[in-house]
Amino acid sequence: MKTTLKIIKYIILSVLSIVVILVGYIWISPIPSYENKAPQLTVSVDSAHVAEGARIASMLCVTCHLSEDGKLGGGRVVDANEFGEIYAPNITNHPKNGITHYTDGELAYLIRTGIRKDGRYAPPYMPKLPHLSDDDMNSIIAFLRSDHPLVQASENKQPDSKPNFLTKFLVRVAFHPFPYPEKPIAPPDQNNKIEFGKYIALAKFECFSCHSENFKSNDYLNPEKSIGFFGGGNPFKQTDGSVIYSANLTMDETGLGKWTEADFIKAVKSGIRPNGQATTRKPMIPYAGMTDEEASAVWAYLSSLPKISKDITKLK
């Protein structure tokens, strides 16, 4: 009997030792790196693409990258405190602190896969756009290459992020780089309103990412398989320690069921609810740059989805 107990004791100690070693390794090791297989790519930097890229950036990039100098010089991302001490990098045209050392192909590869020029992986707090059309990708890169005020050289130099243990663990077991598309991605058919809205909500602005149940359970390659798809409830820690939850955007009465299309378009573009109260709080911002046609298409797509009953006001 004593021999059996000793064996069990040794087994438990051995398992604990392995766990401690693994935890220590994850804690002290950096975020994983991968081979960078950026394609050869040269974008068209014309006025139309620059303008569209600036419009996309005004809704997608400024939340994290806008600095006090009014440029995309980066800064501390307080909404990502769950992942550690996170800093958005300077993505202006500054020759040392910005991204002028990236090729067009390397920028596209980073935005689609999450793999930086040096092979380091950008964890889940950086949005990736694996389903974005090639033309919209061209627009984003054209904007980054332009002399637009937002990307003119900023002197800001951000420190390296300090991801916590949770982030370092997740990038080893759950979050990995996305595959780079093997085929061209065509723009959506804008005459098909639901499909156009789907593209806007899933590929171009990734609305589902915040408005599904949780970042950790999102399926970014197959968005509609995400748990609680558009049912809201994704928690966001605020600077004062409080937590807010993303809105339920399904047509259930706990979501948008009592709204009209006009209510939705106004809320998306101005940040004002039908009752006159503010509907947007960080990290969400009013999407003033979204066209009425785009917002209407998103409404059509959301109207086609299954209803989810989830009252976020009761979440704790």
Closest CA to 112 of 172, 50, 166, 185: 185
Q: Name the phi and psi angles at 141, rounded to 5.
A: -70, -40
The CATH code of domain 47-173 reads 1.10.760.10
Where do the structural domains in the chain lie, given as residue ranges? 1-28, 47-173, 193-314
pLDDT in the model for residue 13: 64
Mean pLDDT of 123-151: 94
DSSP collapsed to 3 states, the chain: CHHHHHHHHHHHHHHHHHHHHHHHHHHHCCCCECCCCCCCCCCCCCHHHHHHHHHHHHHHCHHHHCCCCCCCCCEECHHHHHHEECEECCCCCCCCCCCCCCCHHHHHHHHHHCECCCCEECCCCCCCCCCCCHHHHHHHHHHHHCCCHHHCCCCCCCCCCEECHHHHHHHHHCCCCCCCCCCCCCCCCCCCHHHHHHHHHHHHCCHHHHHCCCHHHCCCCCHHHCCCCCCCCCEEECCCCCEEECCCCCCCCCCCCCCCHHHHHHHHHHCECCCCCECCCCCCCCCCCCCHHHHHHHHHHHHCCCCCCCCHHHCC
pLDDT digits (tens, 9 = 90+) for 142-181: 999 999 999 999 999 999 999 998 888 888 887 889 999 9
Q: Count CB-CB contacts under 10 A for residue 280.
A: 16
Name the pLDDT band for 5 (thresholds 50, 70, 90).
Answer: low
- Which of 50-59, 75-84, 242-251, 298-307 is the least confident region? 75-84
Write down the architecture of domain 193-314 according to CATH.
Orthogonal Bundle (1.10)
Name the pLDDT band for 230 (thresholds 50, 70, 90).
Answer: very high
pLDDT in the model for residue 198: 98
Mean pLDDT of 270-280: 76
| Matching fold, domains 47-173 and 193-314 | yes
Burial (CB < 10 A; 0-12, 13-18, 19+), residue 49, is buried
pLDDT digits (tens, 9 = 90+) for 16-40: 666 566 666 566 778 889 999 999 9
What is the Cα–Cα distance from 74 to 76, expressed in whole angstroms? 7
Name the pLDDT band for 48 (thresholds 50, 70, 90).
Answer: very high
For the chain, percent of residues with pLDDT exceeding 70:
89
Predicted TM-score (pTM) of this structure: 0.88
What is the Cα–Cα distance from 285 to 270, expressed in whole angstroms? 9
What is the Cα–Cα distance from 26 to 107, expressed in whole angstroms? 28
Q: Alpha-carbon Rg of the chain, whole angstroms? A: 22
